[in-house]
């Protein structure tokens, strides 16, 4: 009985650990994989997770996109970015809305900020001006 219990727990652990998931960023300790800067900004950090579960962390969304230029993007399972209005919270980067506005500086000089909801991004755009982009539009813009 006991051994089956162990078996179940063990298999659960294996199952959970095999699924690639986000890894919390340790602000002030982790370094950016692209530019080596220490990650401290809880509103602009980002990370992606490969299918094998390896996590690459970045201090800014622009660093993540620049890094993936030379990276086989087919192995990436998850893209995550900080939501500007919830410092420290990582959200799905591919569904976020991006604001490029000179009035909100981002760590690597792209003035790029991510918002989880489109409404909040609209509000921020009204206050700070700039342009709104989707994930795909952003990718095209930065890759060229």
Task: Note whether 35 binds other proteins by CB under 8 A.
Answer: yes
State the alpha helices, DSSP H only, in the chain.
Answer: 2-18, 61-68, 118-128, 135-143
Dist. CA 34–CA 40, nearest whole Å: 15
Query: What is the size of the binding site for other proteins (CB under 8 A)?
Result: 16
Task: Note whether 129 binds other proteins by CB under 8 A.
Answer: no
For CA atoms 77, 92, 81, 135, the dihedral sign is positive
CB of 19 to other proteins, least distance (A): 23
Task: Note whether 42 binds other proteins by CB under 8 A.
Answer: yes
Binding piece for other proteins, criterion CB under 8 A, among 12-20, 26-34, 66-74, 92-100: 26-34
State how far the alpha carbon of 113 is from the alpha carbons of 9, 21, 61, 87, 135, in Å: 41, 23, 8, 12, 12
Task: Note whether 38 binds other proteins by CB under 8 A.
Answer: yes
Q: Which of 22, 27, 50, 122 binds other proteins (CB under 8 A)?
A: 27
Q: Are 133 and 98 in contact (CB under 8 A)?
A: yes
Q: Which of 22, 23, 40, 117 binds other proteins (CB under 8 A)?
A: 40
Tokens 């569904």 — which residue?
A: 95
* Contact set with other proteins (CB under 8 A): 27-31, 35-38, 40, 42-43, 87, 104-105, 109
């Amino acid at each position: 009985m006991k051994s089956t219990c162990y078996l179940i727990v063990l298999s659960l652990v294996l199952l959970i650990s095999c699924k690639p998931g986000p890894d919390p960023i340790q602000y002030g300790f982790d370094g950016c994989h692209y530019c080596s800067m220490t990650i401290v900004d809880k509103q602009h950090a980002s990370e992606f997770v490969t299918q094998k579960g390896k996590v690459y962390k970045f201090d800014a969304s622009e660093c993540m996109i620049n890094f993936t230029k030379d990276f086989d993007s087919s192995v990436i399972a998850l893209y995550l970015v900080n939501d500007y209005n919830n410092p420290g919270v990582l959200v799905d980067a591919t569904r976020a809305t991006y604001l490029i506005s000179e009035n909100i500086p981002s760590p690597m000089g792209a003035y790029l900020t991510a918002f989880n909801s489109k409404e909040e991004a609209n509000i921020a755009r009204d206050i700070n001006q700039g342009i709104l982009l989707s994930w795909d539009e952003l990718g095209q813009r930065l890759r060229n």
